[in-house]
Amino acid sequence: MEDLFETFPDAEAAYLEAVNHCHDLTNWEPSHGVVFETGRRVNWHKLRRSDTGAGKRAYIRMYKDVCKAWLRGERFRMLKPEVKEVPRLTRLRPEERAANSSRIAEIKAVLGGKHA
């Protein structure tokens, strides 16, 4: 889709970009805001599914509407999920590891030692 002042990626190329990056939204820098917004509106889960035909049809249908909205002056915020640091057991202090081990032993005892 094209305008005098704005050129959008081809719908097929936009779909492929969205599908290739929908598994890692936090590190993705989309080529245009409409590519990301269309994926958000279609639903990232739908693009990840194995039924690629339905996701592709929905994306291309929605893409035209999002491009028209952009041309009308709408701008979209790319709200990406935040990445939270999860502490790993190897980063725990020795006393925290010991406490966790004793809790695990307690749970095993309650379960009757059936689960190793």
The confidence score (pLDDT) of residue 54 equals 86
Per-domain boundaries in the chain: 11-71
pTM over 0.75: no
Across the range 15-19, mean pLDDT stands at 94
Q: Is the dihedral of CA 11, 17, 22, 26 positive or negative?
A: negative
Q: Give the whole-angstrom CA distance, residue 18 versus residue 11.
A: 10
**Is the pLDDT score of 105 beyond 80?**
yes
Q: How many residues does the chain have?
A: 116
Rounded Cα distance between 110 and 80, Å, is 42
